[in-house]
Amino acid sequence: MDDHRIEEILSAQADRLNQGQRESVEWPGSADELAALMRLAEQTQRALAPVEPSPAFVNHLGKRLISRMTKGSREMSRRARRAILIVAAALGSVVSVVSAIGVVIYLIRQRKRFPIQS
């Protein structure tokens, strides 16, 4: 019998054991092979019994997660403030350049309107 078929049969037996059913699945091989596999399935089911974490662990984990989230949000707001500052500085620079160009254009137009006489 191939390994894939054995895995399917053991998986089906594990599902039955998890549901509290103790009868065995149908096995096309010998009764000795089936008995050995069912013992293995039961041992595996006992070894892999669900575990519930202690309340202290859950509480500690919750505090650590909240701490990391708070730290992450502070880091994000620091980044946001830095980005706003950079954008504001860039806009200020653009306004300064545009103002300088505007002053030059104004002076050129005024010069054409009122030429200097020598």
Domains of the chain, residue spans: 3-47, 78-118
Count of CB atoms situated within 10 Å of the CB of 13: 23
Q: 68-98 pLDDT, tens per residue?
A: 888 777 777 888 888 888 999 999 899 899 9
Q: pTM value?
A: 0.34
Q: 5-34 pLDDT, tens per residue?
A: 777 777 777 777 777 776 666 666 666 777
Name the token pair of 5: 């078929």
22: Cβ contacts below 8 Å, ≥ 6 apart: 16
Please list the alpha-helical segments (H only) found in 1-118.
Answer: 3-18, 31-47, 55-113
